[in-house]
Amino acid sequence: MISLKDQIGHLIELDRAPKRIVSLVPSQTELLHDLGLGSSVVGITKFCIHPRNWKKSKSIIGGTKNVHHDKIASLKPDLIIANKEENTKEDVKKLQEYYPVYTSDIFTIPESFVMMNDLGLIFNKQEEASSLIKAIEHSFKTIRKSKNKTVAYLIWQNPIMLAGKRTFIQSMLELGGFKNILASTESRYPEVSLEQLKKLNPDYLLLSSEPFPFKPKHKSELEKRTGIPSILVDGEMFSWYGSRMLKFSNYLDNLTLRQ
């Protein structure tokens, strides 16, 4: 018997380790693969791009915000993986009526490790989860931190939206030694005008690849209009709270070279 509360306080009780898993969270889909659960995952979202071959071999149940409940029902899952921020409250509540649902709620790196340990317990993969966490913690010790550069981390173009306090992005920025210019704002994802962005005057604008896919043309335009140096960054490295964190140290090394 497996019994635990997920990160929103919802009790999950299972007779055995799940064998038919539907994941609604891209970063946790990758984690399931890295825990050796590939044969048990039957459904994923269209945004679950890692591992790449799963888009062809697994059933696609819609997006993270527009889940197709009929497709999920046809898969007969014995566990669904969700996230409070990425999935809608309505979808999670409806799914909880029919299936066990583990919902993560992650703002910090320690909270991501709690989620990994929980999934390790649920799937009888405690040793694998523990080894992964230790490897991530070891990799974090090798990070060459930025020299306290101030940054504004853009997640959307129109309107301009930034990552603020109590976001996982903020935790990863701090880990990398960056000083988030909006770390003390009330809003988690504040909107700012171009003029406000210029007044904030960070050392760098970090332009994320997701959810808005910033491209070189956006970088050139923002640099021209603000006069602030901009860097295109891989959003997965700053916002995916799973096994992708293992790649963060090496990514920052290469990012530093580009600066």
Q: With 70 as the cut, is the pLDDT of residue 257 above it?
A: no
Average pLDDT over all residues of the chain: 95
Domains and CATH numbers, the chain: 2-139 (3.40.50.1980), 150-258 (3.40.50.1980)
Is 8 strand, coil or helix? Answer: coil
pTM, whole model, 2 decimals? 0.94
* pLDDT band of 60, cuts 50, 70, 90: very high
Q: How many angstroms separate the CA atoms of 180 and 191, rounded? A: 15
Burial 40-68 (b: 16+ CB within 10 A, else e): bbbbbbebbebeeebeeebebbbebeebe
pLDDT over 60 (residue 67)? yes
Question: What is the rounded distance in angstroms from the CA atom of residue 127 to the CA atom of residue 133?
Answer: 10
What percent of the chain shows pLDDT beyond 70? 98
| H/E stretch holding 256 | helix 248-258
165 or 59, higher pLDDT: 59
Environment class of 107 (CB within 10 Å of its CB; exposed 0-12, middle 13-18, buried 19+): middle
pLDDT digits (tens, 9 = 90+) for 71-105: 999 999 999 999 999 999 999 999 999 999 999 99
**What pLDDT sits at residue 259?**
44
**Rounded average pLDDT over 185-202:** 93
pLDDT of residue 258: 43
Per-residue pLDDT tens over the stretch 15-25: 999 999 999 99
| Average pLDDT value for residue range 154-164 | 96
